[in-house]
Amino acid sequence: MGSTCDNIYGTGLTLGLGFSSTANQKSRKQAPAAIRFDLSLSLTSDHQIYDQKTENKVNISSNKDQLSAASSYSNGSVKRERDIGSEVTQVERVISSRVSDELDDNDNDNDGSNARKKLRLTKVQSALLEESFKQQSTLNPKQKQHLARKLNVRPRQVEVWFQNRRARTKLKQTEVDCEFLKKCCETLTDENRKLYKELQELKALKVAQPLYMQLPAATTLTVCPSCERVAGAGQNSSKPHLYGPFTNPSAAC
């Protein structure tokens, strides 16, 4: 066991965690992780994170950028600790997460720059994720862990992939809905145009044949049950049919 400092802040390293120890309300998700990190982990003099509970040590770089990246990734695994329900302690999870994160950093961080590294999933990984998504679009923590192990990626990456996948699905569905509504709108506009035209024809008919005005009061315009048009006497089939009380509606068409 290496000699330990009282806490990580006693090392003199600037961690660059991106938040202060007084929890920022807008990023309260991050603050607790920082507090736990502070309380349960120490930085040994030989640049190792030391967990007093499990007596585990993790080699880390003193490069503040790497520490910062590891912290943000470990944050994801800390917050899921309660739901996983395994016997592994929370700190062990932090440690193991950090180990894998560190490996990831080593894989990706060749130049030691602070640039965001974007991992490209392989076709096999994407296919497996897609397959899982087909079965269910959300994963519980256990499934997430399992899938992450299977794919050899971080659980957070699986989580992110599913989140983005749901967003893509939603976007596609929105496009489909939009297209459908557009068609509905076109149909209704068409229908409206036809009805307006019929109305104009009826108005013209009313002016040309004032006889209708002399019909008994009981006379009403009726919709022809066959063609669902307003029926009119003496019209051809393409025009509205108007029939009176003594006209056989079925004969109108």
Q: Compute the distance between CA of residue 78 and CA of residue 73 in angstroms, rounded to an integer.
A: 9
> Which backbone phi and psi does 88 adopt, to 5 degrees?
-70, 135
Encoded tokens for 48: 């190792």
Closest CB 81 distance from DNA, rounded Å: 5
Per CB under 7 A, the segment of 57-65, 167-175, 178-186, 229-237 that binds DNA is: 167-175
> Which backbone phi and psi does 120 adopt, to 5 degrees?
-95, 120
For residue 79, state whether it binds DNA (rule: CB under 7 A): yes
Sign of torsion over alpha carbons 118, 123, 124, 129 = positive
For residue 147, state whether it binds DNA (rule: CB under 7 A): no
Using only the alpha carbons of the chain, give its radius of gyration: 36
For residue 80, state whether it binds DNA (rule: CB under 7 A): yes
Q: Which of 6, 110, 111, 120 binds DNA (CB under 7 A)?
A: 120
Beta bridge partners of 49: 43, 58
> Which backbone phi and psi does 48 adopt, to 5 degrees?
-130, 145
Q: Which of 1, 55, 110, 118 binds DNA (CB under 7 A)?
A: 118
Q: Which of 20, 45, 136, 163 binds DNA (CB under 7 A)?
A: 163
For residue 16, state whether it binds DNA (rule: CB under 7 A): no
Per CB under 7 A, the segment of 44-52, 111-119, 184-192, 225-233 that binds DNA is: 111-119
For residues 127 and 253, which CB has a smaller minimum distance to DNA in the complex? 127
Q: Compute the distance between CA of residue 166 and CA of residue 171 in angstroms, rounded to an integer.
A: 8
- Positions in the binding site for DNA (CB under 7 A): 18, 23, 26-33, 35-36, 69, 72-73, 78-83, 115-121, 126, 138-141, 156-157, 159-161, 163-168, 170
